[in-house]
Amino acid sequence: MLHIEESRRAEHDTALASYKLEAEEFELRMGAWKQQCTAAFKSGSSKPPRPDGEPKPPTQGRLIIQDATFEKLHELMVQNPAGLLVVRDELTGWLAELDRQGREGERAFYLSAWNGDTPHSIERIGRGSICVPACCVSVFGGIQPARLRSYLQDALQDGPANDGLMQRFQILVGPTAEGLEAG
């Protein structure tokens, strides 16, 4: 998947360079149009038609995200409706972030994004409204057995982590070094 990310990043860089040229041309056309409008206003004639074709900045198609706030992840999902994969080398750090006070909304977001078809909107004064029709996030990473055990015990004993987050994970255990030598 990393080669796909690299390819998409290279495509985005090329599209961004092209966009910058198109944006400069459009800005020149708009400047000329404004001058024509000023002249038309002064002479009492009708103003010319506004130039169309304002270029839109390209978005980079993404598959993998390593570390993002959930607001940024939400924004990226608008641009990537097929979903995103959050890859964390150590899930312990990610889980600790979700357990911090004030991050309850982030934890709830990941819970609802697990289904892959749940709409989610974020309304912020500074950012405006961002609506994702179907949130789809997968989380992949490693965790030490002792740390996983403590999260599972808390979830199974109706502790604070018994919100269904741990129950949504599929656990894969790789072979041990001893098992590889025996085979």
pLDDT along the chain (183 residues), means of 10: 85 95 96 94 92 92 89 90 91 87 85 87 85 91 88 78 83 70 57
Report the distance separating Cα 162 and Cα 152, nearest Å. Answer: 9
Instruction: Say what the pLDDT of residue 35 is.
Output: 95
Contact predicate 112/163, CB 8 Å: no
Dihedral sign computed on CA atoms, order 72, 76, 77, 78: positive
CA max distance for the chain: 92
For the record, the structure tokens of 45 come out as 């004639």
Are 75 and 54 part of one and the same domain? Answer: no
**How many structural domains are present in the chain?**
2
In this structure, the answer to whether residues 78 and 33 fall within a common structural domain is no
Question: Which helix or strand (DSSP H or E) is residue 15 part of?
Answer: helix 2-43
Q: Residue 173 CB: number of other CB atoms within 10 A?
A: 6
3-class DSSP state of 123? strand
pLDDT of residue 167: 84
8 Å CB contact between 121 and 112: no
Query: Do 11 and 99 lie in a common domain?
Result: no
Pairing of the two strands 84-90 and 118-124: unpaired
- Whether this model's pTM surpasses 0.85: no
pLDDT at 4: 84
pLDDT of residue 99: 83
Query: Of 43, 58, 73, at which residue does a domain stop?
Result: 58
Structural domain that includes position 35: 1-58
Domain identity same for 24 and 45: yes
The continuous run of DSSP H or E covering 107 comes out as helix 104-113
